[in-house]
Amino acid sequence: MARITAGVATSHVPAIGAALDHGRTAEPYWAPVFAGYDWVKAWEAEEKPDVIILCYNDHATSLMLDVVPTFALGCAEEFAPADEGWGARPVPTVIGHPEFASHLAEQLVLDEFDLTIMNHMDVDHGLTVPLSLMFGQVDEWPVKVIPLAVNVTQFPTPSGNRCWMLGEAIGHAVESYPEDLNVQIWGTGGMSHQLQGPRAGLINPEFDNAFLDGLIDGTDELRKITRLEYLRESGSEGIELIMWLIMRAALGAEVEQLHRFYHVPASNTAVGHVVFRPKGKVETVAEAA
C-alpha cells in the first residue's frame, strides 16, 4: 500500500531558481535563503521518497489564460521544464508516474472532483524551483513527480476549504493504491507577496507566521480564510497559500512539525518552508513492511 510519509510546503520564488542557475547562492543577499534549506535537503536525502505529489500553480506557461482549469493533474510519463520567456531552466526533465497518477485521477473523480487530466504539460518555476531547493543541482531528479496545478492566477479561484477537501481526498486515494510507495505531498507558493500595483513589495510577517502556526493545530480557521482576506493580508499573490492546505489536509488530523524556516530578504516576497510528519502513522514504507 502506498503511504504519505511526509508533507512539505515551500515558496517557489523564480528569482531563487535564477540565483541557483547563475551561481549566485553564496552572495550575501542569497546566502541566508539557501542556508535555510540545508536541513531539509539533508532530510530529503535520508527520506528517499519514491513519488512526490507536487501542488503548484502554472504561471501562464502551459495553461494559458484562455484555458484555466481549477485543478489539473499531470498524468504524463515526463514533463519538460517550460520556457517562461527567457529560455527553460537548465534543470532535468521531470519524470512522472502515469500509473499512480491515473489511479489518483480515477479516485478523485469518483470523489466528485472534476479534474483536468494533463497528458502533456511543461512545468515552470512553480514546480522546478521547489525541486531545486530540496535536491540541489543534479543531473536527474531522484524522485518521480505527479504535478497538480491549481488555479490561483485568474478568478474564480478555489476556496481554501475546497483545497482542504481535495487534500483529504488525495490522502484517501494514495492509501488505496496497492503498490508500496513512499509518497510525499508538497504545497508550494506564497508566502505574502505582491508583484504589482500600489502595494507591490507588500510583506506581512505576522500573517505568514500565524499561518504557519495554524498548519499545526489551527486548520479549521485556515480553511475559513477568504480570497479577499488573502488579498488584503498577504498581497495579490499570497493566495498561493491555499496549495499548502492541500498538502496539510492529505496528512490527516494530527501532524508533527519537523522543521520550519522563515526569512524576508530585501525583496518583494517572503520565503519560507515547513516540514510535517503525519502523527499516528508509520514513518516509512520500509518500517511498514
Q: What cell was used for 60?
A: 501562464
CA distance 204 to 201: 10
Check 193, 259, 263, 273 and give the catalytic one: 193
Is 125 catalytic? The answer is: yes
Hey, which bits of 42-127 come out as E strands? 51-56, 71-74, 78-79, 94-95, 116-118
Peptide bond into 191 cis (omega under 30): yes
Look up residue 153 and give its three cell numbers.
492566477
Q: Is 201 helix (H, G, I), strand (E, B) or coil?
A: coil
d(CA 10, CA 128) in angstroms, rounded, equals 12
H helix runs in the chain, sequence order: 14-21, 31-35, 38-47, 98-110, 125-135, 160-175, 205-217, 219-223, 227-234, 242-250, 285-288
Catalytic site residue from 12, 97, 125, 273: 125
For 107, residues 6+ apart whose C-beta sits below 8 A from its C-beta are 169, 172, 173, 176
Active site residues: 125, 193
